[in-house]
Amino acid sequence: MAYIKVDKAIVIVNVKNVLLIDSALCPVIDDLRPESKIVGNNAQLIYVQGVSHVTDKQFEQADVVVSYFGSVLNQECINKLKQCKGIVAATTGFNHIDIKAATLHSIPVCNISDYGHEDIADHTMMLMLALVRKLPKIVKHTRETRQCDWRAAQGAMRLKGKNLGILGFGKIGVAVAQRAFSFGLNIFYYDPYVHECADSHVHKIDTLEEFLKKIDILSIHCPLTEKTNKLINKDALSLLKKGAVIINTARGQIIDEKSLITLFDQYDFSLGLDVLENESCIPTEFLESDRVLVTPHSAFYTTDALEKMRHLAIVSAVNFLIGKKERNNIIVPFSEKFR
């Protein structure tokens, strides 16, 4: 299969269908002009909003599938792919793709890991700063009393000298560490798949137990896999210091939410949660507390990040179609990497 570049557009010869599956509830794509410019006129873009609306024929005739956030490709869907050369998870996480099923059908899967790591790191620092300075509490107090009273910020702590623990030291974790250093934080990370960091200001801890005992602030940046599912469970939470700050901008299922709710008041945790186990049902305990900030899985989002994500996703799809090896990030089957 050949391809040529014409005015920055890639023209593909003899390509049939690129199936784009968008979220039914929160669609990413408003029009296909950016994607059409990349693939050229010889590729047919099939856009469907919601996996449940994809027909069997569309699955069967797909040469490549791009799955956006909120579009779950389970085993049943993947079994229908008869001529698929690759699946693009247009997200950093890839837990919405059945990797084992894709492997059984010899369909490679790639994710888009570098479109929004800076934005997620910014969001992480925003949550961290808001929680340590008691922003939810003081804003609520000021609104309710209509008075300016600095004592509403009681319990606020200084960041400098505190221990930040980064769980998962991939691109996002590194970006958080870079920002955190400027605030004078002592930076530690736990990631069994990352060797010693070359930056002398960042310290690796070899065991999860030692890591959790040492830190004042936990920031979660590992992917959701079989090993990380409910990794932060009751036992893990019990190792944290009282008054610890917990920030999760990765995946909600990494934290055992029931255990977190159980220990929330006992340990006086402060929580910055951009992700939840069930994002269609936010626990009342989180909504009613002035020690919790819940954001709507928006850490990844900026206008720039969304544009780059769409660009990288369709370029990765083209690379699958032309057999190009330098794809964005091929996921190793059954990999448990914290990347």
What mean pLDDT is predicted for residues 289-316?
95
Out of 46-50, 72-76, 305-309, 319-323, least confident range: 319-323
Residue 331 pLDDT level (bands cut at 50, 70, 90): low
**Tens-place pLDDT, residues 250-297:** 999 999 999 999 999 999 999 999 999 999 899 999 999 999 999 999
pLDDT of residue 114: 83
pLDDT of residue 326: 53
Alpha-carbon torsion 282, 284, 288, 290, what sign? negative
Q: Counting runs of H as helices and runs of E as strands, what totals does the chain give?
A: 12, 14
pLDDT of residue 234: 98
- Mean pLDDT, rounded, of the chain: 90
Q: Are 193 and 339 in contact (CB under 8 A)?
A: yes
**Tens-place pLDDT, residues 43-90:** 899 999 999 999 999 999 999 999 998 899 999 999 999 999 999 999
pLDDT for 1 beyond 50: no
Sequential DSSP letters for 218-285: EEE-----TTTTT-B-HHHHHHSPTT-EEEE-S-GGGB-HHHHHHHHTTTT-EEEES--SSTTS--HH
**DSSP category for residue 50:** S
Choose between 60 and 41: higher pLDDT: 60
pLDDT for 8 beyond 60: no
Count of beta carbons in the 10 Å neighbourhood of residue 33: 8
Token pair for 178? 């870079």
Residue 94 pLDDT level (bands cut at 50, 70, 90): confident
pLDDT for 236 beyond 60: yes
The string over 282-306, giving b where at least 16 C-beta atoms fall within 10 Å of a residue's C-beta and e elsewhere, is ebeebeebebbbbeebebbbbeebb
pLDDT for 338 beyond 70: no
pLDDT for 196 beyond 90: no
pLDDT of residue 328: 53
Q: Are 21 and 67 in contact (CB under 8 A)?
A: yes
What mean pLDDT is predicted for residues 122-134?
98
- How far the first Cα of the chain sits from its last, in Å, is 32
pLDDT for 6 beyond 70: no
pTM of the model: 0.86
pLDDT of residue 178: 96
pLDDT of residue 228: 96
Cα(84)–Cα(320) distance, integer angstroms? 9
pLDDT of residue 93: 84
Count of beta carbons in the 10 Å neighbourhood of residue 36: 14
Cα(322)–Cα(296) distance, integer angstroms? 37
Out of 41-50, 153-162, 204-213, 304-313, least confident range: 41-50
Percent of the chain scored above 70 by pLDDT?
A: 91
pLDDT of residue 195: 82
Torsion over CA of 239, 240, 241 and 245, rounded to 10 degrees? -170
Residues 6+ apart with CB under 8 A from 5: 11
